[in-house]
Amino acid sequence: MTLSTAYSIDLNKDINAEDADIAFQKKEISSQKDFRCPNEKCRIAVTCANLEKPKVARKVDPYFRSVEDHSENCPFAVEEARDIKPETSDSYYDGVDTTKGNTLINLAPPPPKPQDSESTDVKPSKKPSPQSSSKRKDSEHNNDRTKRISSLVTSFLNGENFDVTLPHPYAEDISLQDLFIEINGQDISDLDQDTLRIYYGEAWINTVYNGYQIRFGNDFLDASQSDKELRKQPTLYIHRDKIKDAPYKKYREIRNLIGPKKKDVFILSHAPALSADGKYINFTFTGFQYLEVIA
């Protein structure tokens, strides 16, 4: 999910990512985190991903992404929502080298539940062409080594280790054990930026205004503010509308997970970010296929 423009704190104006890159090279912008939502009534924290990476190390050009939920009725929330995720696991790896035999991550939304239908008509299938058969074989080969987050978590907890290739645009090869990061007091600026990791730890699930909050038991540190260090338990907010449409039963029945007992929570995510008001450290909810909760 991306934004076409963002408000630059340093330049005091809205700017696109290409111009932000030029301004950063001229040292007119000090950090990729010094951006906000262009809507004056929203102004949530926005990062310009890849801005601080040397150009030779970039797999994609800088782009804006929000690191908090937009305020209600913010038009830029609609803009980001238009960036629809691919529907198949293979689509997430378009342009990525998958010939190394590494495990791939299946981030495609689970298929909807089959609906009862009065129609019993069965359309005859066409005989596949040699080209389509080849593509199908490639897809089946990839599916043999494609795992959802829940499977990766099980392998990690069992002490297994194998190489994983991250989807587009990251296209990073990393071992399973290095993919997992325990939340344990780290400075968020020391975490790998502009890529995905599976962050994990014990957490509470609580009801909050218009939804639910996952709050981890351990802290993260933010030392970017010169006047103070901020230690906070990172949180993840899930709007109630997302719960209603969740593809997994345990999340549609998330109330059953609420209580004083902490759960083991795993989330495939970018590094958490400081909120715009400088008071909180948050993960951004992307979808239930990025989340695993063990009660």
Q: Where are the domains of the chain?
A: 5-81, 174-294
Q: Kindly give the residue spans of alpha helices, DSSP state H, lying in 82-145.
A: 130-144
The pLDDT, as a whole number, for residue 64 is 93
The pLDDT, as a whole number, for residue 116 is 37
The pLDDT, as a whole number, for residue 124 is 41
The pLDDT, as a whole number, for residue 17 is 96
How far apart are the C-alpha atoms of 230 and 228, rounded to whole Å? 6
The pLDDT, as a whole number, for residue 87 is 62
- pTM of whole model > 0.85? no
Do residues 234 and 220 touch, judged by C-beta distance below 8 A? yes
The pLDDT, as a whole number, for residue 86 is 56
Contacts of 16 (CB under 8 A, 6+ apart): 4, 5
CA atoms within 13 Å, Cβ hemisphere of 242? 18
Residue 214 φ/ψ region, left for φ over 0, alpha for ψ in the -120 to 50 degree band, beta for the rest: beta
The pLDDT, as a whole number, for residue 291 is 96
The ranges of the chain with pLDDT < 70 are 1, 81-89, 111-143, 225-227
CATH 2.40.50.140 fits 174-294, yes or no: yes
The pLDDT, as a whole number, for residue 187 is 94
The pLDDT, as a whole number, for residue 30 is 93
The pLDDT, as a whole number, for residue 128 is 47
Do residues 217 and 202 touch, judged by C-beta distance below 8 A? yes
How far apart are the C-alpha atoms of 147 and 151, rounded to whole Å? 6
| Residue showing tokens 């994609």 | 60
The pLDDT, as a whole number, for residue 93 is 92
